[in-house]
Amino acid sequence: MEPLIIVATPNICWLKPEVNYPKTPAAIAREAVLCRQKGAAVLHIHAEGQWVKVIRAVRASSDIIVQSGMSSLDIPERMECFKEKSDMLSIILNHHDEAFAELDCLKLHSKEELAKYARLCAQYGVKPEFEVWHAGSIWNLNYLISKKLVTRPYVTTLFFGWPGGTWSPPTVEEYLYRRRLMPPGCAIVVSIMHEDQIKITTAAILQGDHVRVGTEDYPFTRSGKVAKTYELVEEIASISRSLGRPVADIKQARRILGLDGR
């Protein structure tokens, strides 16, 4: 079994916006260092509208893999991520329909937009990270594969329990069902926004998949305490090691995610 890749998400908590998280480039860079020390290989960032400053600050402080999020944004709003050659860019494979504590996110994403994203990723040498919210997402991924617009490994994140019209049940059964539908050649990560997070992340660890944790996904430890993202990384790393699965270092994560040579 490959070592576990941990993706850290030290961003706004959509469920509980009062939870504190790093907002400035310096603060995000400090969190990146701590997450890296505790076992994270990937940092999923929103950058608070400061893409260039945040990407450069993180890279100056750590060798952690940079994944630029906020897939709800239009392509022109994300061109800085391409130009800064973020290691990865999050791309949702379906429409946004999310119901959060302080806002609803509703946005359509066409196959034409997905194809344009794939071409930009190839042009700038950025690895696409595809967000898979339901079975229809997988249909769109297969469409991109059939058009030869993406190459293996296909980096994918499966979402469970996120509220709204693209909600799916945060259960081990749903996780196992969806992963069976995934095309060959996927590096699968799971993201759970629910108190049963630990059940699915543990199942993913045992199945050989990877996990995403942090204030954005679910800001609580197993004991119910609000925690910093690096503390949540430390907890999941400990669980993985206790189950006999080592945590991936940066070199291993880059190989698994198809980032060698980038």
CATH number for position 29: 3.20.20.70
Report the distance separating Cα 58 and Cα 129, nearest Å: 19
262 pLDDT higher than 70: no
Average pLDDT over residues 85-107: 97
Instruction: Select from 43, 12, 16, 14 the least CA-distant residue to 230.
Output: 43
246 pLDDT higher than 80: yes
261 pLDDT higher than 80: no
In a domain? residue 174: yes
Q: What angle do CA 91, 92, 96 make, to 5 degrees?
A: 140
Average pLDDT over residues 22-51: 98
Report the distance separating Cα 163 and Cα 228, nearest Å: 22
In a domain? residue 22: yes
Residue 156 backbone phi and psi in degrees, to 5: -135, 145
Structural domain for 107, as ranges = 6-257
In a domain? residue 103: yes
In a domain? residue 1: no
Average pLDDT over residues 180-186: 98
pTM over 0.95: yes
Contact 33, 25 (CB under 8 A): no
Q: Structurally, how many domains does the chain consist of?
A: 1
Confidence band of 156 (pLDDT split at 50, 70, 90): very high
In a domain? residue 262: no
